[in-house]
């Protein structure tokens, strides 16, 4: 792959709108492409690909940014939310906030919150909690990990918060859940 011209990289870093008709850039880790003037977080240069036009970016399976709408294109809301769901499902153990989900998906927190709730019937935070509790249940039933270890494994570093959230969502503590449903032990990791 060819290195990125220094002037293009500078345009991306500085959000230089004068380059908007010159090139587009795609970020391999997100699969999204943008105008140079996009106000999203500056990507790692190793993950950037340059395209002469939006059609080339799309032909390489990059999706248009929700924030800068390159070439007037916009990803349908349902696809956008599905991509966020897939990302959450793979990164549930990370520190996730509405702000960093919006940043990763190139949208505003307000638009993400409203659109997610309209399409999924719950907020992004409620979805993240649902995914985490589902994984915690799997660990409780299929491993001998401690409650603290399970909380950390699902992205909830504060044990007390993990136990409180688990009880709120399942009507029992993690320990009670394990007793009712029996840990099989095993080598789940």
Query: What pLDDT, in 10s, does the model give residues 34-50?
Result: 999 888 888 999 999 99
Tell me the whole-structure pTM to 2 decimals.
0.66
3-class DSSP state for residue 115?
helix
The pLDDT tens digits of the residues spanning 73-84 come to 666 788 889 889
DSSP code at position 174? H
- How many domains does the chain fold into? 2
Is residue 165 within a helix (H) or strand (E), and if so which, with residue range? Answer: helix 159-170
Do both 61 and 80 map to the same domain? no
163 and 150 within one domain? yes
| Residue 83: predicted pLDDT | 85
Residues 13 and 42 in one domain: yes
Claim to verify: residue 94 and residue 158 sit in the same structural domain = yes
Same domain? For 66 and 98 the reply is no
pLDDT tops 70 at residue 188: no
Residues 113 and 172 in one domain: yes
What residues make up the domain containing 30?
6-72
Q: Does the residue 177 lie in any domain?
A: yes
* DSSP states of 3-67: PPPHHHHHHHHTT-GGGTTT-EEEETTTTEEE-TT--SPPPPGGGEEEESSHHHHHHTTPEEPTT
End residue of a domain, out of 30, 48, 72: 72
State the catalytic residues. 34
**Would you call 122 helix, strand, or coil by DSSP?**
coil
Q: How confident is the model at residue 119 (pLDDT cuts 50, 70, 90)?
A: very high
Q: What is the spatial distance between Cα 125 and Cα 20, in angstroms, rounded to a whole number? A: 34
Is residue 1 domain-resident?
A: no
Q: Which residue has the tokens 């909380």?
A: 151
Distance CA 163, CA 174 (A): 6
What is the average pLDDT across 137-159? 94
């Amino acid at each position: 792959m060819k290195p990125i011209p220094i002037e293009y990289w500078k345009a991306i870093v500085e959000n230089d709108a004068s380059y908007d008709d010159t090139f587009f850039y795609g970020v391999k880790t997100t699969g999204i492409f943008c105008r140079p003037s996009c106000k999203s977080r500056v990507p790692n240069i190793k993950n950037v690909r340059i395209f002469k036009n939006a059609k080339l970016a799309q032909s390489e399976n990059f999706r248009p940014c929700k924030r800068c709408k390159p070439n007037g294109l916009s990803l349908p809301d349902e696809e956008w939310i599905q991509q966020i769901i897939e990302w959450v499902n793979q990164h549930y153990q990370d520190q996730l906030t509405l702000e960093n989900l919006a940043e990763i998906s190139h949208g505003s927190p307000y638009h993400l919150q409203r659109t997610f709730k309209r399409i999924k019937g719950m907020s992004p935070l409620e979805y993240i909690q649902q995914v985490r509790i589902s994984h915690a249940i799997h660990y409780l039933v299929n491993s001998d990990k401690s409650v603290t270890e399970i909380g950390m494994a699902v992205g909830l570093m504060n044990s007390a918060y993990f136990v409180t959230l688990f009880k709120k969502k399942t009507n029992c503590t993690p320990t009670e859940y394990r007793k009712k449903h029996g840990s099989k032990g095993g080598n789940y990791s």
